[in-house]
């Protein structure tokens, strides 16, 4: 059976997906797949409990999939000759970034993009992000703090010199080889983008990437179309769904710090470049289908999809239940059999987890196909940071082993 552009899945596939979403207690979500022939989509449940349905046009904060867009924007600057992947990152910064345990090992752009910089996240960064984003008691003067305040001599954002791994081994945490998935990497990348382009980060992403394929959405809520529906992210509490993010009962401008007054380079945490993009599942699928077939950006794809880190026993592959075995630049690479993937390698993509919501996008450049999963909340919440969720594996198995193999 040949898929049709914008078509629904066959009844048997849709029925299976419906059972999976129901079994896991999903509030609302969608699945969109794309290939050379077009798209298929499935939607389930509500964007708001018992009111507005969740569809493939519903906007959702896609969490860490956002990092792929931040990375792509930086790679465009590399292609334009404005940035060098292997130069010391301090060439592009207005603050000093040196691992005190390895002061003679420069941190490079490449290390930021493939999570080998040895940086780590902290509550200090989260606190500043809240002050940069919201007009509230955390920020009574409504002034966005300067991001350079994070990088004083009293703030160390690097992992220690050595760490004990899962089996008790002691590993040296050397920049360029030790993998540690970290949000801060992409905050620094976005800061560099702002300094070079002299534009707010959200505008760079819209102009360079989203507008290229006419995709609505972006890194500020004001970029969602007036008639668009933005679903919150939810956590369950008994029989109630508690909105944890993107539930707004007042005008955006009364909630967020000013976009109009924002000065590029001030504090890119305002846009959450590591996790803050809002887009629909159909929009995300359309973007990456267009991205794969766009011959004018082949250099960027080559850089992005080239393996830059592979797991070994001494360089930390233990985050997210050992899901990460290989990384390119701003993307996870699956290059060998790993449930649920068994063919069409490599698979390139990213997972997203935030505030009870789950997102996922993986694509096969070789087969020119991909899958997007959005879940705004589910009753069966995992404890800790795991790899692929059970529901994600079940959905992908249906798509990989039933939907695509029947075509």
Q: Is the dihedral of CA 45, 48, 51, 55 positive or negative?
A: negative
Q: What confidence score (pLDDT) does residue 1 get?
A: 28
Q: What confidence score (pLDDT) does residue 206 get?
A: 98
Separation between Cα atoms, residue 403 and residue 33, nearest integer Å = 10
Q: Which residues contact 173 (CB under 8 A, 6 or more apart)?
A: 101, 118, 159, 160, 161, 162, 163, 180
Q: Which of 21, 32, 61, 7 is CA-nearest to residue 399?
A: 32
Helix (H) or strand (E) holding 320: helix 319-322
Separation between Cα atoms, residue 350 and residue 194, nearest integer Å = 24
Q: What confidence score (pLDDT) does residue 314 get?
A: 85
Q: What confidence score (pLDDT) does residue 6 get?
A: 65
The full set of domain ranges for the chain reads 7-406
CA 364, distance to chain mean position in Å, is 18
240: β partners: 237
Residue 207 in tokens: 């102009």
Residue 163 in tokens: 């760490």
The ranges of the chain with pLDDT < 50 are 1-5
Residue 227 in tokens: 């008639």
Q: What confidence score (pLDDT) does residue 2 get?
A: 32
Superfamily of domain covering 7-406: DD-peptidase/beta-lactamase superfamily (3.40.710.10)
Q: Which of 116, 121, 104, 122 is CA-nearest to residue 173?
A: 116
* Residue that the structure tokens 């070079």 belong to: 196
Q: Are strands 326-327 and 309-310 parallel, antiparallel or unpaired?
A: antiparallel
Q: What confidence score (pLDDT) does residue 374 get?
A: 98
46 and 377 in contact (C-beta within 8 Å)?
A: no
204 and 352 in contact (C-beta within 8 Å)?
A: no
Q: Are strands 28-35 and 369-375 parallel, antiparallel or unpaired?
A: antiparallel
């Amino acid at each position: 059976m040949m898929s049709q552009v914008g078509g629904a899945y066959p009844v048997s596939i849709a029925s299976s997906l419906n059972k999976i979403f129901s079994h896991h207690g999903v509030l609302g979500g969608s699945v969109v797949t794309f290939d050379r022939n077009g798209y298929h989509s499935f939607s389930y449940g509500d964007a708001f409990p018992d009111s507005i349905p969740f569809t493939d046009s519903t906007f959702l904060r896609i969490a860490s999939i956002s990092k792929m867009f931040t990375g792509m924007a930086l790679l465009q600057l590399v292609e334009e000759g404005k940035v060098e992947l292997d130069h010391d990152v301090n060439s592009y910064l207005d603050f000093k970034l040196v691992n005190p345990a390895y002061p003679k090992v420069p941190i490079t752009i490449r290390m930021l993009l493939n999570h080998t910089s040895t940086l780590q996240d902290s509550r200090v960064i989260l606190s500043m992000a809240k002050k940069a984003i919201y007009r509230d008691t955390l920020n009574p003067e409504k002034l966005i703090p300067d991001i350079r305040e994070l990088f004083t001599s009293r703030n160390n954002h690097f992992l220690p010199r050595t760490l004990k791994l899962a089996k008790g081994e002691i590993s040296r945490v050397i920049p360029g080889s030790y993998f540690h998935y970290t949000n801060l990497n992409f905050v620094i990348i976005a800061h560099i983008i702002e300094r070079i382009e002299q534009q707010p980060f959200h505008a760079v992403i819209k102009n360079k990437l989203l507008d290229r394929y006419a995709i609505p959405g972006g890194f500020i809520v004001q970029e969602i179309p007036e008639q668009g529906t933005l679903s919150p992210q939810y956590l369950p509490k008994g029989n109630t769904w508690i909105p944890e993010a993107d539930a707004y009962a007042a005008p955006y401008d009364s909630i967020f710090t000013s976009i109009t007054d924002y000065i590029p380079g001030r504090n890119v945490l305002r846009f959450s470049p590591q996790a803050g993009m809002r887009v629909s599942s159909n929009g995300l699928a359309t973007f990456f289908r267009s991205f794969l077939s766009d011959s004018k950006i082949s250099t960027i794809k080559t850089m992005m999809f080239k393996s830059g880190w592979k797991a070994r026993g001494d360089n930390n592959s233990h985050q997210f239940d050992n899901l990460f075995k290989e990384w390119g630049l701003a993307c996870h690479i699956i290059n060998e059999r790993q449930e649920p993937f068994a063919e069409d390698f490599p698979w390139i993509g990213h997972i997203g987890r935030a505030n009870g919501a789950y997102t996922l996008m993986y694509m096969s450049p070789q087969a020119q196909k991909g899958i997007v999963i959005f879940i705004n909340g589910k009753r069966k919440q995992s404890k800790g940071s795991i790899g692929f969720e059970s529901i994600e594996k079940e959905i992908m198995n249906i798509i990989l082993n039933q939907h695509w193999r029947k075509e």
